[in-house]
Structure 1
């Protein structure tokens, strides 16, 4: 009996040991599948920052978040049923085609050379080509061209008496960028390139069920060879699920308003107009708006508080509706089957991204009286994309000259509207207003009236006086424009009010921010968990991009990129940099000769390079982000120009500056950097790379998770342990968070309370000196 008892005890012990082992294995497996923890202490999160801006933000005390305010001020004539009423101000916001205080007045954008019946005023009366010249019938709300009504697949408008804004009886097939090279009699036309019968003949595009020739389908919301597959159109935050998207204008459902239909009218029920069940495909594009939570799901908040204007349609949604090219002005769209998709590379993609981020941010306030800053979302970069395609829009009206001139006058018009409509700009002389300049030479030509504000751009040019460095005449902001083009008071030389009045960038009040890159652009980055392409990195130096090789006559004086790209390519070819140093400089279509089977896509090549050259383009370069997001040390070649976040991060810890005069010595200078120093810079990159990418929007975060989890699955469920990979799916301290943290530190200066007790309270900086003093040198916070 005693013996049996001992045996049972022995078995229990063995079972317990076995159970412990199983638990340990489960814990080990679970830990292996988890990303490394994110830094949590302020001094850790502020690694590699310059000055105290980062610590100031993290040391502020959060305060309770309160329910949002509600408004119910009616609008005249209910905005004619076509516009949206802003119930805070009782003001109508109108779609393209409609205007006036109640959206009842026609506001047209005719096609180029349009005559009677919305048709061309005479095919042979004008030989000039234009983007919006129309050989069919024009939708003159937006200047879009379709097959004429007398063809089988022609555009047929809503019948007489239909309610305002009614859709056409038949949209018809598009004729955008598809014009005949002869008339019906075979006489030559100089503004088209397609045989007449291919468009209008019995078997042509406008008449045949299965035409042999097909015009391009480029309008947002249409897909397929015959341009007859309707998909969801693209709007800001997809109208928050509370409206119908019309080429960038949200027509809000009853009870909702705002540019993204994200604001609820007083008394309206929260569930009114929800589309998650009727349009489930929009859910992956919707980002939750924190400021409208009622009751607040996010119980506390931190400053800065940002008020986002709903700008008049002229400066915002009109430009989205006028773009016609479906991929312009967007960072995402809907592909076949309503699959949400990236548009590919949009150089100015930060414009729609920042707008959605500010609208949905926890820092947004709906009360302008408490706002620390005001974001002014005018679509300047979108205007650059569509400028010159049509006589409208234009500032001044019906004029055409260089794009920066028109953009500056558009800014002036927007500023006048702000001052006539709201009291906020005058409160602090515009110092608290934030303006974005995503185009190539940034704020160099900003209208002087907005210059006191915060300028966000990709172009950190610091010299003054300055002149345009672009090789593209239409973007030359120092081009002389005759005074009569102002169309009103003689203002003298327009440059006195723009580029001669201020520098391009003032590091004391402005910020050079990163370019937007969707996660697919850096999909082979080790920071997302991609396995190393080569260990160690086997390319010493790398650059692939536009070198003006295809057409040297395009830039005969070597102006583009200040001739840095062309010069570096020539040096590399003449001195044999690839064979001697493993430095590859070439056109974007020519990858280096790698072993068979080696991945040669752009992301993979960046991930296997030690140094990546950041060379100028027409202005700013996106190659800084390309390098950093792949763990490649950027070699910055742009004299007198700050790189992204250079004024607030210790960029010398993770990048190399190469003077343009020293490009010939690039291999020797790079090889002279000790291996230990290279390793230190690579380690620094892992602690800062996330500040150069934007998260915070649903589609971006979902894509990051998808990529990271795919790599994790390939690795047997083990999460990546590459330094920096802990940020792979996190928005913590990303580019947008960095901008907000920096803005917080500027509150006392912007509000005029710097140095006062009130200013210290506004910045939440009590005992900051002691806190900073307690931070060790090892935390990586460098002195300004």
Structure 2
């Protein structure tokens, strides 16, 4: 045994162990060998028996047809359900982890700091339920989603961008029920003054790495009437910042003359899911061309301005009695149930070129007919607008029937197939929590392309 304690080469060590084993371990070998052989035999038997059972159960011809009812739930079916549920939960957790890792990778480790402003700038407005559900509610939805997002940082010194959560579209007029924007400029100015006095981040960059939401008609101009919006212009204190806005056109316009990200109007994802669940099971669409909304018989309304640049008036006059057009001038809460039954959904401009019908049409599988010259559409990298919609010039609105007939006889099925890609619906809807590919995700993707505006990154580089 002393030899075992010497330092030797591996081969010499093996030879000495063999000699010692032959000298002292013959009896131990026989008993250990028999025990080892027995264990191997039992293991192999269990393995082949289990393999046989699994292989047999995988053959569909050997499975009896079964129906599981609530009244006859067995222990086995309950265990199967619980195991599937557990697996589903594990997959969900794995997806969340993957989503977290993917978001950090996709957004180039983007970090956003959210100012904790006094409640009068945001949460107090939520006392009115419409504030978080109307077409301008993207300002609320983005704030809520970012609060729970992986890109949020509680350390402002490591932030790339600073989100300023001020709700300016929730001051509803008691006269007509529409948002009143008269308070928007002083409310935003007050918020900027507050953050510039209490923290150093606004002053060091001049606000160039600060993000605001302007989710109403003419975006950063903060007025619903174009002429007034242009005359007022963008507030000077916001001209260096990034504006998330629903207004966008392909030509030069004073109200988009600022660094901006074009976002969709807000449509409740819950309402879309509910409508899809109650849609006709056969998927039949019995309405050819649909529009419900404000259509002035006399386009020059009480404000003295021509609503919709006369487009909706022409639609009403020309197609009100057309058998293929389903046109309604009065509001109807459940009008999404009409969209999901329609082949074509008219999306004419109103005061501004955009409309929530754009989102609702895409989400509910109705081909959007966009009638708004020069409109710029949100998230064009994610939503293939030319493949899922039809653009009609305002001057051609009188030929809508012929245009739609031509599309129906040529490439309608292709457009509908492209339209039903779930990625389109996902990209245009804001969720309470950021989901891969959804509208807030797209906002973060766009911000990650503007990291050259990050003061922190410029300083470190």
Q: Could you say whether these structures have the same fold, taking a TM-score greater than 0.5 normalized by the shorter chain as the test? A: yes
| 1:521 paired to 2:252 | no
| 1:559 paired to 2:306 | yes
**1-side partners of 2:456 and 2:310: how far apart?**
43
Indicate the SS of the match to 1:541.
strand
> Post-superposition shift, 1:408?
1.7
**2-side partners of 1:621 and 1:757: how far apart?**
42
Q: 1:375 to 1:542 in 2, by over 3 A?
A: same
The residue aligned with 1:542 is 290
**2-side partners of 1:364 and 1:418: how far apart?**
18
- Given candidates 419, 427, 440, the residue that maps to 1:691 is 427
- Given candidates 408, 426, 448, the residue that maps to 2:236 is 448
Q: For residues 200-219 of structure 1, what are the structure 2 equivalents within 5 Å?
A: none
> Deviations 1:648-706 (Å, cap 9, x if unpaired)?
64321211111111100112122222656323322322331211112244xxxxxxxxx
Q: 1:603 to 1:403 in 2, by over 3 A?
A: closer
Q: 1:424 to 1:26 in 2, by over 3 A?
A: farther
The residue aligned with 1:371 is 159
> Deviations 1:397-435 (Å, cap 9, x if unpaired)?
xxxxx9545422322222122211111112322121111
> Post-superposition shift, 1:534?
4.4
Indicate the SS of the match to 2:139.
helix
Q: For residues 164-203 of structure 1, what are the structure 2 equivalents within 5 Å?
A: none
Indicate the SS of the match to 2:172.
helix
> Post-superposition shift, 1:364?
0.8
Q: 1:589 to 1:739 in 2, by over 3 A?
A: closer
**2-side partners of 1:556 and 1:747: how far apart?**
43
Question: Alignment length, in residue pairs?
Answer: 372
Q: For residues 571-650 of structure 1, what are the structure 2 equivalents within 5 Å?
A: 571-573=318-320, 576-577=321-322, 579=323, 582-588=324-330, 601-619=334-352, 620-646=354-380, 649-650=383-384
Is the contact made by 1:512 and 1:646 (CA closer than 8 Å) also made in structure 2?
Answer: no
Indicate the SS of the match to 1:662.
helix
> Post-superposition shift, 1:464?
4.2
**2-side partners of 1:584 and 1:25: how far apart?**
51
Q: 1:505 to 1:60 in 2, by over 3 A?
A: same
Is the contact made by 2:213 and 2:244 (CA closer than 8 Å) also made in structure 1?
Answer: yes
Is the contact made by 1:457 and 1:512 (CA closer than 8 Å) also made in structure 2?
Answer: yes
Is the contact made by 1:607 and 1:630 (CA closer than 8 Å) also made in structure 2?
Answer: yes
Is the contact made by 2:288 and 2:342 (CA closer than 8 Å) also made in structure 1?
Answer: yes
Is the contact made by 1:532 and 1:607 (CA closer than 8 Å) also made in structure 2?
Answer: no
> Deviations 1:292-315 (Å, cap 9, x if unpaired)?
xxxxxxxxx963211100113443
**2-side partners of 1:59 and 1:417: how far apart?**
31
Q: 1:525 to 1:303 in 2, by over 3 A?
A: farther
Q: 1:16 to 1:681 in 2, by over 3 A?
A: closer
Q: 1:26 to 1:518 in 2, by over 3 A?
A: farther
- Given candidates 670, 676, 679, the residue that maps to 2:404 is 670
Q: For residues 284-433 of structure 1, what are the structure 2 equivalents within 5 Å?
A: 303-317=109-123, 319-320=125-126, 326-331=128-133, 346-382=134-170, 384-385=171-172, 404=181, 406-433=183-210
Indicate the SS of the match to 2:212.
strand
Indicate the SS of the match to 2:328.
strand
Is the contact made by 1:374 and 1:434 (CA closer than 8 Å) also made in structure 2?
Answer: yes
| 1:568 paired to 2:315 | yes
Q: 1:633 to 1:553 in 2, by over 3 A?
A: closer
> Deviations 1:48-89 (Å, cap 9, x if unpaired)?
xxxxxxxxx969648xxxxxxxxxxxxxxxxxxxxxxxxxxx
Q: Which runs of 5+ in 1 are unaligned?
A: 1-12, 41-56, 63-300, 332-345, 390-401, 466-502, 591-599, 698-729, 759-784
> Post-superposition shift, 1:371?
0.7
> Post-superposition shift, 1:378?
1.1
The residue aligned with 2:442 is 738
Q: 1:609 to 1:328 in 2, by over 3 A?
A: closer
Indicate the SS of the match to 1:652.
helix
Is the contact made by 2:159 and 2:456 (CA closer than 8 Å) also made in structure 1?
Answer: no
> Post-superposition shift, 1:455?
0.9
Highest CA radius of gyration, 1 or 2?
2
Q: 1:607 to 1:424 in 2, by over 3 A?
A: same
Q: Which runs of 5+ in 2 are unaligned?
A: 1-51, 69-79, 95-100, 223-233
> Deviations 1:247-293 (Å, cap 9, x if unpaired)?
xxxxxxxxxxxxxxxxxxxxxxxxxxxxxxxxxxxxxxxxxxxxxxx
Indicate the SS of the match to 1:673.
helix
Q: For residues 68-217 of structure 1, what are the structure 2 equivalents within 5 Å?
A: none
Is the contact made by 2:208 and 2:453 (CA closer than 8 Å) also made in structure 1?
Answer: no
**2-side partners of 1:757 and 1:420: how far apart?**
25
> Post-superposition shift, 1:632?
1.2
> Post-superposition shift, 1:548?
4.1
> Post-superposition shift, 1:617?
2.9
> Post-superposition shift, 1:444?
2.3
**2-side partners of 1:388 and 1:370: how far apart?**
46
Q: 1:456 to 1:387 in 2, by over 3 A?
A: farther
- Given candidates 249, 256, 274, the residue that maps to 1:505 is 256
Indicate the SS of the match to 1:636.
strand
Is the contact made by 2:287 and 2:343 (CA closer than 8 Å) also made in structure 1?
Answer: yes
The residue aligned with 2:40 is none
**2-side partners of 1:456 and 1:24: how far apart?**
57
> Deviations 1:485-506 (Å, cap 9, x if unpaired)?
xxxxxxxxxxxxxxxxxx2225
Q: 1:561 to 1:553 in 2, by over 3 A?
A: closer
> Post-superposition shift, 1:530?
4.4
**1-side partners of 2:61 and 2:460: how far apart?**
60
Is the contact made by 2:345 and 2:367 (CA closer than 8 Å) also made in structure 1?
Answer: yes
Is the contact made by 1:411 and 1:447 (CA closer than 8 Å) also made in structure 2?
Answer: no
Is the contact made by 1:440 and 1:459 (CA closer than 8 Å) also made in structure 2?
Answer: yes
**1-side partners of 2:420 and 2:137: how far apart?**
25
> Deviations 1:331-357 (Å, cap 9, x if unpaired)?
4xxxxxxxxxxxxxx233223222211
